[in-house]
Amino acid sequence: MSRDSALVTAEWAEKNLDTPGTVFVEVDEDTAAYDAGHIPGAIKLDWRTELQDPVRRDFIDKGQFEELLSRKGISNDDTVILYGGNNNWFAAYAYWYFKLYGHQAVKLLDGGRKKWELDNRSLVTEVPQRAATSYQAQEPDPAIRAFRDEVVSAIGVKNLVDVRSPDEYAGRLLAPAHLPQEQAQRGGHIPSALSVPWSKAANEDGTFKSDDELRELYAEAGLDGSKPIIAYCRIGERSSHTWFALHELLGYADVKNYDGSWTEYGSLVGVPVAVGDEPGGNA
């Protein structure tokens, strides 16, 4: 994909807020951010209550995704523009969902809320009302999602990219420092995984770095572009951001997001675990 087919600028977004067939959707780590002010006309997706299965540890299935988008007033023909806080952390997660279920006309607002606010563009509190639709999703695309058995088999064979913070990678933390240290039973990383924190792909204003800068970032970390790539983090949202950079911007064909990530892997019995700052570490 080209950058233009996956991203829109804040300037473009402001000019197309009322364009028929274009739907702006906010998805934030802080699920209350939308209520305090959002892009005019944007609707909200709550990643905790609407994108996660209420019973199983999994994201919503095809039928649930269809019901959600139908209820939100999104049709199959709509172009969906996703954005959020924290450099589009959870917006990229939602983007990956849309691609997983076959919605091709979806883009990220480059820079998300951060760039929009830095530009002093307008935010409103009015919640738009959209008529319900009858959204039809495709079966989930197995080419962009990795599961634990594939991940274990990929150790030392494929590119494994750990996009968490260096302290999480080394096993000193189980989660980002501002969050409770919970969920995984063990700290560390998957042996042979490269450490490339997701945030290194973004500029100070939240926009993505240039293609050349991104290629240099991953090359310096040791990424072998001739091999398949699996990205992971703690619960799959930060690795969605890296998946976007590698697959949608740089055009690597075989890139998967392991959404089970360290919350699953770090609690598995008998799998190899590395600790420390080096890819091999101590298994």
The residues assigned a catalytic role are 233
Secondary structure, 3-state, the chain? CCHHHHEECHHHHHHCCCCCCEEEEECCCCCCHHHHCECCCCEECCCCCCCECCCCCCECCHHHHHHHHHHHCCCCCCEEEEECHHHHHHHHHHHHHHHHCCCCCEEEECCHHHHHHHCCCCCECCCCCCCCCCCCCCCCCHHHECCHHHHHHHCCCCEEEECCCHHHHHCCCCCCCCCCCCCCCCCCECCCCEECCHHHHECCCCCECCHHHHHHHHHHHCCCCCCCEEEECCCCHHHHHHHHHHHHHCCCCCEEEECCHHHHHCCCCCCCCECCCCCCCCC
